[in-house]
Structure 1
Amino acid sequence: MKYISTRGQVSPTGFIDAILMGLADDGGLLVPKHIPQLSDDTLKQWQKLTYPELALEVFSLYVNNEIPRADLKKLVDDSYATFRHEDVTPVRRLDNGRYVLELFHGPTFAFKDVALQFLGNLYSYVSRKTNSIIHILGATSGDTGASAIEGVRGKEGIRICILHPHQKVSKVQELQMTTVNDANVLNLAVEGTFDDCQRIIKELFADVSFKHRYHLRAINSINIARILAQTVYYFYAYFQVANKEHADKISFSVPTGNFGDIFAGYLAQRMGLPIHKLILATNENNILARFVNEGVYQPGAFRGTYSPSMDIQVASNFERYLFYLYGEDADTVTSLMAQFKAEGRIVITGDVLKRVQADFSAYSVENEECLNTISAYYEKYSYLLDPHTACGAAASDKLAAEGEVTVVLSTAHPAKFDEAIRLRNISQTYPEQIQALFDKPQIQTVVGGSNEEIKKQLVTFFN
């Protein structure tokens, strides 16, 4: 399997080089040159697999023998041995046709662990095998940072710097990042929004000489390994629900801000998983919902919400979808992204918009609706949703047809967002691992939002 850039100016590259490159050197995003196509027989065989066994089969399609199968199996087994549930990502039935896919059983209680436990081990493996330096640079709206740090903390040959928007993540998210005292970890709290953090990351990776000089590697979902890892739980959940419901129409409702989680579902669908509908749920920062419903991709005013991990105006994985929307035409994608940079908007109409609306349904959830959904599910099902999952549930309630089987992706444990849940007078008990964070000292550096300030911190840390 080779990987190509959405902008077409990078020679096809192998899996390991692709994950090391992160952002393509031409400023685009890497995608597989060909999407593997799965037969009905293969899907039938995969239904019987455990989660690690299924992950091994999916990764094998994309690694293409660059990593010996025995080594790949160990990477997968080690990554998912850290999860608290034997199913890794269990499916919970709430009602007829209503399911929740619990993605929060990893070390940091967030769905990002599914990909980042694997990517952390993969980077460590590559560092050992190639005797190379791995300097990880990432931005987080809350969960990626903690998951990425947990995946590589203390590992030889790896250093990691994470940017997060200062005082714009939940307290537990902040503590999970900033109470880590390993020497190979640097937390920078940026005075600005997540979009500022993400812009800095992309611009630093686009500075190819700086990127190569300091051996920068990506941990955000611009890294194709993140997307590939997330496709696995769509397959796993589909098989679990199909076995219980004997249904041939199963939809997924996905809370998303950066378009990575739902793009993984789109990729699984393109591989042959017969997903009926992909429902895209946003909060009030609804650039993606507006794009699906109106054909306009244009940032609006930033809104702080109860689901801060989705407080994103510019979705870093959107370009990957554009690539497939326009028939893998890199020239068109390059032109559209140049237009977006110059004018701040992309507008599509006609048949192209119809294709988007065939691929996704979308709904934007307002703050009060999010909290009301938490209350409603707690009262009806005795099941506590975190605010991001509540956005997915609200979108499912709004857009799923009567009697349709729908799986809502639960992206985080509710304990990570107790500030929002307490607004509905619901009390919860923190898991022991989270409760312990409040007694630990924090280690972080508050910085301004300029590239030069971040560069200065990185040069000191990585030298």
Structure 2
Amino acid sequence: METLYRSTRESASQTMTSSQAVLQGLTPDGGLFVPVTLPQADFDFDQLAQADYQTVAYEVLKLFFTDYTEAELKSCIQAAYGTQFDDPAIAPVTKHGKQYYLELFHGPTIAFKDLALQILPHLMTTAAKKNQLQAEVVILTATSGDTGKAAMAGFADVDQTKIIVFYPQAGVSAIQKQQMVTQVGENTYVVAINGNFDDAQTKVKELLNDRELHAQLAANQFQFSSANSINIGRLFPQVAYYVYAYAQLIKQGQIKNGDEVNFSVPTGNFGDILAGYYAKQLGVPIHKLICASNRNNVLTDFFNTGVYNKNREFFLTSSPSMDILVSSNLERLIFYLTGEDPKQTASLMTDLQTKGSYTLTPAMRQAVTEFWAGFVTEGQDQHEIHHLYAHHHYTIDPHTAVASAVAKQYQAATKDQRPMVVVSTASPYKFPKAVLAAITGQDHDVDGLAAVDQLHALIKTPIPATVDNLRTAPVRHHQVTEPDAMAAAIKTILKLN
């Protein structure tokens, strides 16, 4: 059965194929693409328990990308999940204490974004050929730290593409920044903004829907798309690692087929945990998805009160990829909570844009059954890093620590003893200063590669190649702009002025 896509804000009569939606990125009305009908899966988990990651990925992706042939999809998957990952399992599941950790940081940029952004360029170039696209695709992306590097690593020197990444100058770790500004590739462009991630993301979404700019691009043989998780080519590959994790727990003898498990997910833009929601809809026996936040706890308040309110203080934390107050992917969940009502969804999103908040109806609140939400302070985050290292000699980054600590909050509050999988989204070497301070209990006056070396001397695990290579990588990207000047920066890069 073919899976077609519609907008969260328009009637289902306006549909696109999966390859068209991958190329488009964002819907023309400013909404997000969702399947017209959720695909039906019949996973044999006992069989998948013996399968490699590539096989599991194919079983998931064939449900969502139905206008790709089997050969096309398998080619994309094989290109994406190979020797660029330092563990043949791609996304191994390990146990430390009473919790399991789904390690998503074994890819070329040591963050979970690699699981989606290694395959997106292949999905997109295949889609361009399928749809006889003549224009050059311009990937426009906002990043809170990890998406930018992972997207550029995936798209670097890919034919018929350019990628432009905007990041908050003061809102990423030193290693994240160094990874981005040293990125190679003649088609890659990195621009810092004097603002936070929400400023960058809001402007990117505006530009993706700017009809005048679109016309100017078309006249010059360009077409916008996105590598953020608003793109289905980025979102649905993430579903695969939830299926794989469950199958691996069966393989390890930790659970039996059919046993329910919980996943705790460090959450900012809501894409990663939304992939878990889709996995549950496909039949993965997930009991609860724990939405874990840092001090920017807009999602915690949303799930606990039914009110989404971005009108609050913004905090810069040691888990910067979660320093977000506008969670774009939440719109997809809202669409389902309205009973797939595009008018009601559009109205709530308009309220968010004009008033900065919206409120769920009582019926919508009752429909939120899959999620539990909590948050931690900086001190609690540091304590969790320290605890895992001291008691289990396992080192986690600040984002994973948020999810690990909130998982324990959930277990204490509910007495739920089901197996808990913490989604581990980044290597500790991506945030060495914060991890070093948490483990030692002392602030260190070092950052970047100096902090990496001190952390390595302490924990003894190998320094990832992507970090080690920064020692000799020249800085290639220096541009800084204001959020309001992002359109001008794009026109300059594309030589439209």
TM-score normalised to structure 1 length? 0.95
Cα pair 2:8 2:342 within 8 Å, conserved: yes
Specify which of 237, 249, 254 is matched with residue 245 of structure 1.
Answer: 254
Cα pair 2:384 2:404 within 8 Å, conserved: yes
Q: 1:223 to 1:380 in 2, by over 3 A?
A: same
Cα pair 2:287 2:370 within 8 Å, conserved: no
Cα pair 1:257 1:282 within 8 Å, conserved: yes
SS for the counterpart of 2:287 is: strand
Establish whether residue 333 from structure 1 lines up as the match of residue 345 from structure 2. yes
SS for the counterpart of 2:95 is: strand
Task: State how far apart, in whole Å, the 2-side matches of 1:8 and 1:433 are.
Answer: 42
> Residue 186 of structure 1 corresponds to which residue in structure 2?
189
> Residue 150 of structure 2 corresponds to which residue in structure 1?
147
Residue 457 of structure 1: CA displacement? Answer: 1.8
Residue 125 of structure 1: CA displacement? Answer: 2.9
Task: State how far apart, in whole Å, the 1-side matches of 2:209 and 2:424 are.
Answer: 33
Establish whether residue 315 from structure 1 lines up as the match of residue 327 from structure 2. yes
> Residue 424 of structure 1 corresponds to which residue in structure 2?
438
> Cα deviations across residues 407-448 of structure 1 (Å, max 9, x unaligned)?
000000000001111213545223243022133222224433
Residue 46 of structure 1: CA displacement? Answer: 3.3
> Cα deviations across residues 202-251 of structure 1 (Å, max 9, x unaligned)?
00011134235231111001101211000000000011113422251210
Residue 45 of structure 1: CA displacement? Answer: 3.9
Percent identity reads 38
Specify which of 267, 292, 307 is matched with residue 256 of structure 1.
Answer: 267
Residue 176 of structure 1: CA displacement? Answer: 1.1
Task: State how far apart, in whole Å, the 2-side matches of 1:118 and 1:398 are.
Answer: 35
SS for the counterpart of 2:289 is: strand
Task: State how far apart, in whole Å, the 2-side matches of 1:395 and 1:59 are.
Answer: 30
Task: State how far apart, in whole Å, the 2-side matches of 1:255 and 1:352 are.
Answer: 24
Task: State how far apart, in whole Å, the 2-side matches of 1:192 and 1:23 are.
Answer: 23
> Cα deviations across residues 388-420 of structure 1 (Å, max 9, x unaligned)?
000000011110235321000000000000111
Task: State how far apart, in whole Å, the 2-side matches of 1:16 and 1:424 are.
Answer: 45
**Equivalent residues in 2 for 1:309-458 (5 A)?**
309-348=321-360, 350-356=362-368, 358-400=369-411, 401=415, 403-426=417-440, 427-429=454-456, 430-451=463-484, 453-458=485-490
Cα pair 1:254 1:279 within 8 Å, conserved: yes
> Residue 301 of structure 2 corresponds to which residue in structure 1?
290
Worse-superposed segment, 194-203 or 122-131: 122-131
Cα pair 2:165 2:190 within 8 Å, conserved: yes
**Equivalent residues in 2 for 1:211-290 (5 A)?**
211=214, 213=217, 214-243=222-251, 244-247=253-256, 248-290=259-301
> Cα deviations across residues 357-410 of structure 1 (Å, max 9, x unaligned)?
x22100111111000100001111110010000000001111023532100000
Residue 128 of structure 1: CA displacement? Answer: 5.0
SS for the counterpart of 1:245 is: coil
TM superposition outliers: structure 1 runs of 4+ over 6 Å: none
Amino acid at match of 1:457: A
Task: State how far apart, in whole Å, the 1-side matches of 2:41 and 2:465 are.
Answer: 42
Amino acid at match of 1:407: V
> Cα deviations across residues 139-168 of structure 1 (Å, max 9, x unaligned)?
100000000000011222111100000121
How many residue pairs get aligned? The number is: 458
> Cα deviations across residues 258-294 of structure 1 (Å, max 9, x unaligned)?
0000000001111111101110000000111110011
Task: State how far apart, in whole Å, the 2-side matches of 1:235 and 1:255 are.
Answer: 18
> Residue 199 of structure 1 corresponds to which residue in structure 2?
202
Task: State how far apart, in whole Å, the 1-side matches of 2:366 and 2:143 are.
Answer: 32
SS for the counterpart of 2:184 is: coil
Cα pair 2:22 2:232 within 8 Å, conserved: yes
Amino acid at match of 2:494: F
Specify which of 5, 9, 30 is matched with residue 7 of structure 1.
Answer: 9
SS for the counterpart of 2:138 is: strand
Amino acid at match of 2:346: T
Residue 95 of structure 1: CA displacement? Answer: 3.1
Amino acid at match of 2:264: S
Task: State how far apart, in whole Å, the 2-side matches of 1:208 and 1:273 are.
Answer: 40
Cα pair 2:142 2:201 within 8 Å, conserved: yes
> Residue 168 of structure 1 corresponds to which residue in structure 2?
171
SS for the counterpart of 1:276 is: strand
Cα pair 2:46 2:250 within 8 Å, conserved: no
Task: State how far apart, in whole Å, the 1-side matches of 2:416 and 2:269 are.
Answer: 29
Q: 1:252 to 1:283 in 2, by over 3 A?
A: same
Root-mean-square deviation (Å): 1.7
Cα pair 1:305 1:311 within 8 Å, conserved: yes
Q: 1:439 to 1:236 in 2, by over 3 A?
A: same
Q: 1:339 to 1:402 in 2, by over 3 A?
A: closer
Task: State how far apart, in whole Å, the 2-side matches of 1:396 and 1:450 are.
Answer: 36
TM-score normalised to structure 2 length? 0.89
Cα pair 1:166 1:446 within 8 Å, conserved: no
Task: State how far apart, in whole Å, the 2-side matches of 1:318 and 1:386 are.
Answer: 24
Cα pair 1:79 1:118 within 8 Å, conserved: yes
Residue 34 of structure 1: CA displacement? Answer: 0.9
Cα pair 1:278 1:360 within 8 Å, conserved: yes
Gaps of 5+ in 1: none
Gaps of 5+ in 2: 441-453, 457-462
Specify which of 63, 83, 86 is matched with residue 84 of structure 1.
Answer: 86
SS for the counterpart of 2:339 is: coil
